[in-house]
Amino acid sequence: MRLMSTRGPDSAGPGGRPPGTPRESPARRGHASGAPPLPDEDEDEGRDSLIDVPGGVRLQKVLAAAGVGSRRHCEELIGEGRVEVDGEIVRRYGARVDPQHQIIRVDGMRIPSRQDMVYLALNKPAGVLTTMSDDRGRPTIADFLGDYPERLYHVGRLDYDTEGLMLLMNDGELAHRLAHPSYGVLKTYLADVPGPLPRDVGRRLLSGVELEDGVASADKFRVVEQAGSRALVELTLHEGRKHIVRRMLAEVGHPVSRLVRTHVGPIALGSQRPGTTRPLTTREIGELYAAVGL
**What are the DSSP E strand ranges found in 53-196?**
57-58, 83-85, 88-89, 96-97, 104-106, 109-110, 119-124, 153-154, 163-169, 187-194
Rounded Cα–Cα distance for residues 153 and 168 (Å): 5
Round to whole Å and give the CA distance between 267 and 24.
46
CA dihedral for 97, 102, 107, 112, sign (positive or negative) = positive
Instruction: Tell me, yes or no, if 147 is annotated catalytic.
Output: no
Of the candidates 145, 150, 168, 143, the residue with the CA atom closest to the CA atom of residue 158: 168
**Angstrom distance (rounded) from CA 62 to CA 183:** 29
- Cα–Cα dist 221/199, whole Å: 12
Q: CA–CA separation, 276 vs 285, rounded Å?
A: 19
Length of the chain: 294
- Report how far residue 141's alpha carbon sits from residue 155's, in angstroms, rounded to the nearest whole number: 12
Q: Which candidate in 159, 171, 213, 219 is catalytic?
A: 159
For the annotated catalytic residues, the residue numbers are 159
